């Protein structure tokens, strides 16, 4: 049975061509051609350090040093850049820990689990699919026992909080948690934001913010209808691309949707025009990309290696 995540649905809705290249034909950038530093990598490494802390009781600063030392061993050609990014990450996380202590942010929250994977089968107009998600952190509010999905975000500006009510990812996660755990009260999302700042004397606070957004049954029902509709469209696209029917040529099934995202977010922006002008785009893909599982991040073992190296000094249940 086909499995679909919120990330895959967002890719499909943003640009069907990028979705097909990633999730149908399974093309990925070559690791050696990808920079190991940047805001996305910074965010992922801070996520991993916080997972080590909340889930395994490991000092997040020690975890960050281990993470960056490992990255530098893998990409020694970026050792200097990784060292600079480590200083940035340490400043952000050290300040975050102090902020938690000063504000008592976590006092009323009990960690239930970190990086918890959820799966649930739903019916679409073309048959069943499995929805899947991996939650950053699941917490229980001590005052009333309600469950909240906590998402850590490294952001350039805390003004992002104004748009969180529109975020589809946490609606998807809340819907999936409610479907898989109907015996629990699921109250919504808890966004914990860390501003990408070294907190120098010239930087302007605040640097951290936590926002709670609740979803009622109408929100979750609407999300369910949207998700099952998009999942059905994805399943249909897979079937048509595999049909061999000339009427199901990729130009009509998974057409591109050009936008500013092409410049900063799509790894296929140079190959995309070749798919329309008669060029040997398949050869270009083979020369510049590799085939791989787009869901490999679900199976990552980095946290196990980190815990084994640094040792467990506590656990989060």
Cross-strand partners of 134: 117
Cβ-based burial of 88 (10 A; exposed 0-12, middle 13-18, buried ≥19): middle
Report the alpha-carbon distance of residue 15 to residue 10 in Å, rounded.
Answer: 9
pLDDT digits (tens, 9 = 90+) for 142-160: 999 889 999 999 999 888 7
Half-sphere exposure of 163 (CA within 13 A, CB side): 8
* Distance between CA atoms of residues 178 and 176, nearest Å: 5
Instruction: Give the 3-state secondary structure percentages of the chain, helix then strand then coil, rounded to 5.
Output: 50, 20, 25
Instruction: Give CB contacts under 8 A, 24+ apart, made by 83-86.
Output: 85/37, 85/41, 85/42
Which helix H or strand E contains 244, and what residues bound it? none
Over the stretch 84-103, which tens digit does the pLDDT of each residue have?
A: 999 999 999 999 999 999 99
For the stretch 56-80, pLDDT in tens is 999 999 999 999 999 999 999 999 9
Straight-line distance from the first to the last Cα atom of the chain, in angstroms, rounded to the nearest whole number: 31
CB atoms within 10 A of CB 127: 11
How far does CA 288 lie from the centroid of its chain? 24
> Considering only CA atoms, which of 192, 233, 231 is closest in space to residue 212?
192
User: Angle between the 60-74 and 39-56 helix axes, to the nearest 10 degrees?
Assistant: 130
Q: pLDDT (tens digit, 9 = 90+) per residue, 243-255?
A: 999 999 999 999 9
- Proportion of the chain above pLDDT 70, given as a percent: 97
State the DSSP string of 126-138. Answer: TEEEEEEEEEEEE
Global pTM reads 0.87
- Give the model's pLDDT for residue 12: 98
| DSSP-assigned beta bridge partners for residue 152 | 192
Reported as a single tens digit per residue, the pLDDT across 198-247 is 888 788 889 999 999 999 999 999 999 999 999 999 999 999 999 999 99
Task: Select from 301, 4, 232 the least CA-distant residue to 133.
Answer: 4
What structural domains and CATH numbers belong to the chain?
109-217 (3.90.320.10)
């Amino acid at each position: 049975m086909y499995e679909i995540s919120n990330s895959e649905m967002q890719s499909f809705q943003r640009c069907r061509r990028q979705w097909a290249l990633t999730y149908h034909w399974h093309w990925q950038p070559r690791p050696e051609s990808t920079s190991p530093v940047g805001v996305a990598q910074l965010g992922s490494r801070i996520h991993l350090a916080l997972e080590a802390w909340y889930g395994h009781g490991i000092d997040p600063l020690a975890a960050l040093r281990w993470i960056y030392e490992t990255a530098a061993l893998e990409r020694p050609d970026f050792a200097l850049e990784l060292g600079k990014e480590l200083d940035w990450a340490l400043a952000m996380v050290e300040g975050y820990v102090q902020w938690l202590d000063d504000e008592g942010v976590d006092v009323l929250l009990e960690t239930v689990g970190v990086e918890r994977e959820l799966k649930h089968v739903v019916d679409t107009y073309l048959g069943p699919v499995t929805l899947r998600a991996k939650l950053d952190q699941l917490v229980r509010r001590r005052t009333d026992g309600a469950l909240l999905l906590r998402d850590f975000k490294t952001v350039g500006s805390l003004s992002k909080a104004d748009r969180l009510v529109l975020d589809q990812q946490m609606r998807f996660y809340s819907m999936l948690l409610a479907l898989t755990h109907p015996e629990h009260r699921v109250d919504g999302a808890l966004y914990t934001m860390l501003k990408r700042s070294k907190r120098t004397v010239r930087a302007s606070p605040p640097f951290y913010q936590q926002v709670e957004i609740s979803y009622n049954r109408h929100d979750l029902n609407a999300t369910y209808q949207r998700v099952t509709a998009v999942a059905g469209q994805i399943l249909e696209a897979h079937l048509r691309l595999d049909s061999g029917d000339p009427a199901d040529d990729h130009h009509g099934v998974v057409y591109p949707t050009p936008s500013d995202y092409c410049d900063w977010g799509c790894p296929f922006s140079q190959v995309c025009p070749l798919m329309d002008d008669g060029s040997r785009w398949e050869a270009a893909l083979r020369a510049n990309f590799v085939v791989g599982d787009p869901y490999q991040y679900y199976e990552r073992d980095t946290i196990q290696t980190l815990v084994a190296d640094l040792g467990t000094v506590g656990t989060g249940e």
